[in-house]
Structure 1
Amino acid sequence: MKNKKNILFMVIALSIITLAACAEDNKKNQNSASKTEQNQQVKDGPNKVDNTDKTASVNAIKVNKNIQETNTTNTVIKIEGRRKEFLGRLDSTQKEIDALPEKKDSDAGVTNAMRSYYGKSYDMYDKELNEIYTLLKNQLSPKTMKNLQTEQIKWIEHKEAEANKEASQYKGGTFELVAYNSSLYNSTKKRCYELVNKYMTD
């Protein structure tokens, strides 16, 4: 009976020792796994790229590329459907000019009537030119508009030079202003039709 108690006591003691040893091994294994994970994080560090971040970056590049392609393909070099309308407006302006009271005396060569007639005619076409230019500025692509602005500055310089050249032939005479206004009128009228035909379609 005493032997049985001793054996039982030894079995219990061995079981406790075995459990303690297992618990210690388990703790060591957990510590080892934790250190391995920490070492991996340190190793990967900030240079590690998460797959979700990588996918987002690729998608962002694709979107930017699509935007660039859209901007390239959406280059407006002509305004559609307005050419006929503006040519009609310019023709109406010319009819108004032809109906001016000064026209009859201007055609007869009366200097004052000519000066007034060409001055008013120039003003009317200059107003039309400003409206055409404003429309183009609002609807053409920035690149096309930049080219047009450069072209327009050169045209204005040429228009003024031509008007001064015409006027200089009558310097000091009564016909000087007539020649100046007549040149401005003809240049501006021509420019209106050029812009409409070049930058608008039916």
Structure 2
Amino acid sequence: MRNNRKIIIVMFTLVAAILAGCGNASDDLSDESTESTTQGREDETTNKDLTDKTESSAEGADNTELNDQEDTSSKSANGQPFKSSNSDDEMKISNKDEYLKRLNEMEEADRHSEAGTTTIELEEQEAERYKKWDVELNKIYGVLKEQLSAEQMDQLREEQRDWVKHRDEAAKEASLKYEGGSMEGLEYVATQAGLTRGRCYLLVAKYMK
């Protein structure tokens, strides 16, 4: 009987020891699981922070690059800011200079044109030259209509009528030197061409802005 009690006590002791060991093992597993979960959350948070920082840096770089492009586009090749070409003074100077340059080129072309060998050829050439300068005179007159005030334009219109009359009278007078001869027509149209060319220069220099 006593032996049976001892055996039962030993068995209870063993069972208690085994249960205690299992409990410790369960606690260790629980601790490891908790630690693993916590570590995973920390890693996830760290990765998210890194991703946010990377995207922020990339966005900052894009903005910086865009700003650099905007700064570059607002500067000229030498790094100086572009100046607006729409100011009144620049438009006036450019317009006047453009026409003076054009007139000089037209006159230069006249000088270097090959002269005809007969009176008829020369008269045809002078007629073409007169026509060319008269077309240019009308263009200049049209520009001045846009630039001058109504009062100034009325005055210029009156001057132009007087000049046309003067041009034709001067051409007629010059041609009378060869009245009845083959040179009469040539001198007439040549004088018209020369006076029209001079009128173009005068209008640009005096009135154009």
Q: TM-score range by the shorter chain?
A: 0.5 to 0.7
Structure 1 residue 88 and structure 2 residue 101: aligned? Answer: yes
Q: Distance in 2 between matches of 1:138 and 1:111?
A: 41
2:53 maps to what in 1? none
Q: Distance in 2 between matches of 1:134 and 1:168?
A: 34
Residues 147 and 208, structure 2, Cα contact 8 Å, conserved in 1 = no
Q: CA deviation at 1:98?
A: 3.1
Q: Give per-residue Cα distances to partners, 1:112-167, cap 9 Å, x unaligned.
A: 22212211111111111000001101221000000000110000000010011111
Aligned length, in residue pairs: 118
Structure 1 residue 132 and structure 2 residue 140: aligned? Answer: yes
Q: Distance in 1 between matches of 2:208 and 2:92?
A: 6
- Residues 56-71 of structure 1 mapped to structure 2, 5 A cutoff: none
Identity in percent: 32
Give the alignment's Cα RMSD to 1 decimal.
Answer: 1.6
2:163 maps to what in 1? 155
- Provide structure 1 residue ranges, at least 5 long, that are not aligned to the other structure: 1-78
Q: Give per-residue Cα distances to partners, 1:4-24, cap 9 Å, x unaligned.
A: xxxxxxxxxxxxxxxxxxxxx
Secondary structure in 1 aligned to 2:120?
A: helix
1:30 maps to what in 2? none
Q: Which amino acid aligns with 1:186?
A: G
Residues 127 and 190, structure 2, Cα contact 8 Å, conserved in 1 = yes
Hey, which bits of structure 1, 4+ residues long, moved more than 2 A?
95-101
Q: Which amino acid aligns with 2:162?
A: K
Q: CA deviation at 1:99?
A: 4.0
- Residues 159-178 of structure 1 mapped to structure 2, 5 A cutoff: 159-178=167-186
Structure 1 residue 197 and structure 2 residue 201: aligned? Answer: no
Q: CA deviation at 1:80?
A: 2.1
Question: TM-score, normalization: structure 2?
Answer: 0.53
Residues 100 and 117, structure 1, Cα contact 8 Å, conserved in 2 = no
Query: Which of the pair has the greater relative contact order for Cα pairs under 8 Å at 6+ separation?
Result: 1
2:27 maps to what in 1? none
Q: Distance in 2 between matches of 1:116 and 1:170?
A: 17
Question: TM-score, normalization: structure 1?
Answer: 0.55
